Amino acid sequence: MKKFSHTDDQGKAKMVDVGNKTNQLRIAKAQGHIKLSKKTIDLIRENNMKKGDVLTVAEIAGIQGGKKTSELIPLCHPLQITKIDVSAKLTDDGVEVKSEARCVGKTGIEMEALTAVNIALLTVYDMCKAVDKEMVISKISLIKKTKTDLD
């Protein structure tokens, strides 16, 4: 059996050991989009969706999702997150979501930024599914990730 860096000698999955790495300021930014019908966009704009304020709920859900990343993705390290910001805005053809996640730690925070975007988009989907059967979630990507040594 082929051995991968995330498996032990018996081929069992394992978490990567980051214990010897130094703490760094880590920042990741992600984005994604959900395509909506004009009717759905108008309902969101006018705050007439039955489930409430779609953009605000999506932003809050994205923050919650980012915070729960290590519980959702099996080999993801739990991190001491210092910031997760999620913004959802209407576009001509749907909703664009962007996130920024920060931590001081030994491993990256890109999964938290990506999870925040995904959960925000899924929340838009959930809140709009009664009126829009043609929604498409797409263009989810990591925009940027950085790590900076601490003095």
14 phi/psi in degrees, rounded to 5? -145, 160
Tokens 């703490």, residue located? 23
- Supply the residues annotated as catalytic: 126
Task: Return the sign of the alpha-carbon dihedral for residues 49, 55, 56, 61.
Answer: positive
